[in-house]
Amino acid sequence: MSSQVWQITLAVLLLVLAFDFAMAYKQRNVETSLSTAVSWTLFYVAAAVVFGISLGQWADTQAQNEFFAGWLTEYSLSFDNLFVFVLILARLKVAKEKEQLILLIGIAMALVMRGGFIALGSVIVSKFSWVFFFFGAFLIYTAYTLIKESDEEEWEEGKVISYLRRKGASTFTLALVAIAMTDVLFAFDSIPAIFGLTKDPYIIVTANIFALMGLRQLYFLIGGLMKKLIYLTQGLSFILAFIGVKLFLEAMHSQGWHSVGPLELPHISLIFSLGMIIGTLAVTSILSLYKTRDKKSN
């Protein structure tokens, strides 16, 4: 993308984020209503869809497909990460009217951290193609840990939080530190995942920004969704494992290994990847809603 496209895109997105953050700060002592949360969540999702469709008009179909694959993956991961935020704020017993400001700062920190990881990842990827072996292994390991811990619905304080509590830190400070620490872990998951779908820095940056947009509002909807989307973690685990395998295959091809004995290594296309991501999220949602409907009726 040209420098002009970068400048216009970042200027518009940063203005929208600044407006959202200004609203959050103004209403930092007000509990967000359900109708407000729904309206803003739908607005940000619609904005991402419109942006993705427009890419096909002024960029190309490849960029469009890469954006939707990246945005869906990052948004799904961010959605899952919000579950942890819910558990953290509930465990620390943060007052409802203080959640706005904590989420505001937490999302801002996530943007900065992901920006740093994207810049670092782009440099590493451009110089060392073998790094995809590491990315692939990390995503497969992450998928395994997600499945292993899928039944755990409690957040436990780490040593840092316990230490700060003993030192008399406020609940507000404890919550910010806990969310900052989880932001780092989330960035480790999300950045290798999107590098498995696209190498275009423009697509990576915009997909991540759109994925983080509206998370503050989505937080206030997620309480009920946590009880309904019971298989989301399993679906995300499958997606991460799939992208991990895709990265392994790409790394092997980049090293000139196109076959293992008589077995020729396949190339996983972007269209197939996008279809796999959409299909997995759709099946996960349908099965979750079906399962929770049965529970409700019994």
Task: Phi first, then psi: give them for residue 259, nearest 5 degrees.
Answer: -155, 155
Residue 223, pLDDT score: 61
Mean pLDDT of 92-99: 77
If you average pLDDT over every residue of the chain, what do you get? 80
Q: What whole-number percentage of the chain has pLDDT above 70?
A: 92
pLDDT at 256 over 80: no
Mean pLDDT of 270-283: 87
260 is a domain residue: no
Q: Which residue has the higher pLDDT, 292 or 245?
A: 245
Give the CA dihedral 110, 204, 197, 130, nearest 10 degrees: -80
Beta-bridged to residue 263, according to DSSP, are: 260
- Kindly indicate the confidence band of residue 157, based on its pLDDT and cuts at 50, 70 and 90: low
DSSP-derived letter for residue 263 is E
Strands, E, within the chain: which ranges?
259-260, 263-264
First to last CA, the chain: 55
Res 197: pLDDT: 85
Q: What predicted TM-score, i.e. pTM, was given to this entire model?
A: 0.76
| Integer Cα distance of 79 and 67 in angstroms | 17
> Is residue 73 a part of any domain in this protein?
yes
In this structure, of 136-140, 148-152, 163-167, the range with the lowest mean pLDDT score is 148-152
Domain presence at residue 70: yes
Domains: count for the chain: 1
The answer to whether residue 249 scores a pLDDT higher than 80 is: yes
User: Looking at the domain assignment, is residue 261 inside a domain?
Assistant: no
> Is-contact 138 251, C-beta < 8 A?
no
| 170-179 confidence digits (pLDDT tens) | 888 888 888 8
**CA separation for the pair 22, 244 (Å, rounded):** 38
Does the structure show a pLDDT above 70 at 224? no
The arithmetic mean of pLDDT across residues 90-114, rounded, is 79
- With respect to residue 50, please indicate whether it lies within any of the assigned structural domains: yes
Instruction: Judge whether 236 lies within some domain.
Output: yes
Rounded (5°) CA angle 7-218-89: 110
When pLDDT is cut at 50, 70 and 90, the band that residue 263 belongs to is confident
206 lies in a domain?
yes
Output the six-digit token pair for 172: 């507000």
Tokens 């002024």, located at residue:
58
Q: For residue 53, tell me if it sits in a domain.
A: yes
Per-residue pLDDT tens digits for 11-54: 888 888 788 778 777 776 777 777 777 888 888 889 999 999 98
**Per-residue model confidence (pLDDT) at position 46:** 92
Q: Are 44 and 51 in contact (CB under 8 A)?
A: no
| Residue 175 and residue 160 in contact, taking contact as beta carbons nearer than 8 Å | no
pLDDT at 62 exceeding the cut of 60 = yes
151 has pLDDT over 70: no
pLDDT computed for residue 208 by the predictor: 87
Return the residue matching tokens 């558990």.
Answer: 87
Q: What is the pLDDT of residue 50?
A: 92
Domain range holding 169?
A: 3-252+266-297
Q: Output 215 or 45, whichever has higher pLDDT.
A: 45
Lowest mean pLDDT among 21-25, 130-134, 284-288: 21-25
pLDDT band, residue 295 (cuts 50/70/90): low
Q: Which amino acid is at 162?
A: S
Map residue 184 onto helix, strand or coil.
helix
pLDDT at residue 149, as a whole number: 64
Report how far apart, in Å, the C-alpha atoms of 181 and of each of 119, 164, 193 are: 20, 14, 19
**Beta carbons of 66 and 196 less than 8 angstroms apart:** no
Query: With bands split at pLDDT 50, 70 and 90, how would you rate the model's confidence at 156?
Result: low
